[in-house]
């Protein structure tokens, strides 16, 4: 008599009870999409600052864009690299990086205060690009539903 095998678990390296999700992980594509959206929003904010004749604001956005993008990708790598860790260890790694990221954001803001209020607001806008990109995505999702 022939035994039926569960197709989800007969591949090499698959654990018991693992999901039958496709081997291609959508997280890297989502991370690239968010990074592209952050760059586009940063460019739009900088262009808007130049059009409003606020070059210090634009300079602040452009100065904070690589910092914000780099720290976002660094945090994303901690999520992607957590596959072999227990949930508690993965959470500790993520939270440690998130707190370091927040501290670096505050340090960048304190240093940028020397550039004046327009530069400080530009740096703040540049550091918040990840949140702004999520708000734009939520707006478009709500727009499609209505």
pLDDT in tens, 1-13: 555 444 444 444 4
Which of 5-19, 27-41, 115-129, 132-146 is the least confident region? 5-19
Note down the domain range covering 103.
Answer: 28-145
Q: How many CA atoms lie within 13 A of 66 on its CB side?
A: 3
- Please indicate, yes or no, if residue 42 is contained in any of the structural domains: yes
The answer to whether residue 56 sits within a structural domain is yes
Is residue 69 domain-resident?
Answer: yes
Rounded to 5, what percent of the chain is helix, strand, coil?
A: 75, 0, 25
**Is residue 16 one of the residues assigned to a domain?**
no
Is 122 strand, coil or helix?
helix
Q: Does a structural domain hold residue 134?
A: yes
Of residues 121 and 77, the one with the higher pLDDT is: 121
Do residues 8 and 31 lie in contact, with contact meaning Cβ atoms separated by under 8 Å? no
Is the residue at 100 inside a domain?
yes
DSSP 24: S
Residue 6 lies in a domain: no
Q: With respect to residue 36, please indicate whether it lies within any of the assigned structural domains.
A: yes
Q: What's the number of domains the chain is made of? A: 1
- More confident position, 14 or 67: 67
Q: Which tops the pLDDT comparison, 21 or 88? A: 88
């Amino acid at each position: 008599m022939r035994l039926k095998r569960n197709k989800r678990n007969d591949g090499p390296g698959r654990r018991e009870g693992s999901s039958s999700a496709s081997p291609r992980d959508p997280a890297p594509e989502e991370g690239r999409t968010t990074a592209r959206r952050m760059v586009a929003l940063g460019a739009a904010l900088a262009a808007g600052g130049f059009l409003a004749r606020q070059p210090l604001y634009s300079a602040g956005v452009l100065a904070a864009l690589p910092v914000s993008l780099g720290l976002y990708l660094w945090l994303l790598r901690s999520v992607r690299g957590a596959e072999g860790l227990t949930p508690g260890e993965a959470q500790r790694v993520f939270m440690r990086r998130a707190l370091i990221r927040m501290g670096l954001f505050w340090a960048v803001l304190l240093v940028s205060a020397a550039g004046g209020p327009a530069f400080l607001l530009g740096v703040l806008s540049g550091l918040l690009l990840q949140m702004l990109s999520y708000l734009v995505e939520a707006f478009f999702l709500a727009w499609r539903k209505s």
